[in-house]
Amino acid sequence: MPVTDDLKLLIDAAEAAGKIASGFFHGAAERWDKPGGQGPVTEADLAVDRMLRNELTGARPGYGWLSEETEDTPARLEAEQVFIVDPIDGTRSFIEGSTTWAHSLAVARNGIVEAAVVYLPERGKLYAAARGQGATLNDAPLTVSPKTQIEGATVLAAKPNLNPSFWRNRDVPPVERVFRSSLAYRLSLVGEGRFDAMMTLRPTWEWDVAAGALIVEEAGGKVTDQVKGSARFNNPHPQLRGMVAGTPPVQDALVKRLAEPLV
């Protein structure tokens, strides 16, 4: 299947997801907490997940399925291609009435993301990328920022990521921290060139970052886990060892200064 066909499928599905989620967003979506401290979920998350699974796997019955809101099974590990989906990334923002939540959709082939969409319907922003064909925002080409120095770099990250314990010799880099709740949106903003880097230094679910990682790469950025390993997807346990993404010089500088993880 040509990657452009998969990308078109993801774009159409994301736009349909936006219509469903926005209907709940402007109403009153029921919410509850997932067991095991896994955070909140709403009826909007589940409605979007059902639609995406039906539409995407219906169009590509041979593809595997990995989604935050669907019980995982080993079947996806046998598939060459797999959909990796977060129906609503930034559910807390969705609940709070912020517009920074997103739909994050990707197709990975043999562990490598080949097509990706991150869509923020309430902001009218549709980021898309196909491997080897560049990244776009509402069809306009994207390029990461020209920043080459870590000093003063703008980095999208949660506050705990700048705790001295994460850094060699407890030497926190001289960056300007900014926060957005959705990891998919953070990555997309780096691809857009509005910020120089992003990082998350805890085990990271694949569905949060698969689509955004390709958007950064296709915009000319660099993406690894926190120990400089390449980001590969559709793992048996679908988590990565964090993620650091940004302009190549800034990303390199951040990773070099990180302390070795304890595990």
Q: How confident is the model at residue 228 (pLDDT cuts 50, 70, 90)?
A: confident
Buried b (16+ CB within 10 A) or exposed e, 208-234: bbbbbbbbbbbbbbbbbbbeeeebebb
pTM of the model: 0.95
Picking from 199, 201, 207, the residue whose alpha carbon sits closest to that of residue 239 is: 207
The span from the CA of 133 to the CA of 30, in Å, is 40
Q: How far is CA 163 from CA 107, 125, 158, 169, 220, in A?
A: 34, 32, 10, 12, 29
- Asked whether residue 263 carries a pLDDT value surpassing 80, the answer given is no
Q: How confident is the model at residue 259 (pLDDT cuts 50, 70, 90)?
A: confident
Picking from 128, 225, 226, the residue whose alpha carbon sits closest to that of residue 184 is: 128
Residues listed for the chain: 263
Least confident range of 149-153, 210-214, 226-230: 226-230
The span from the CA of 134 to the CA of 113, in Å, is 13
pLDDT at 28: 73
Helix residue spans in the chain (DSSP H) = 3-25, 43-59, 91-96, 183-192, 206-218, 248-257
Q: Which two tokens stand for residue 166?
A: 């994460």
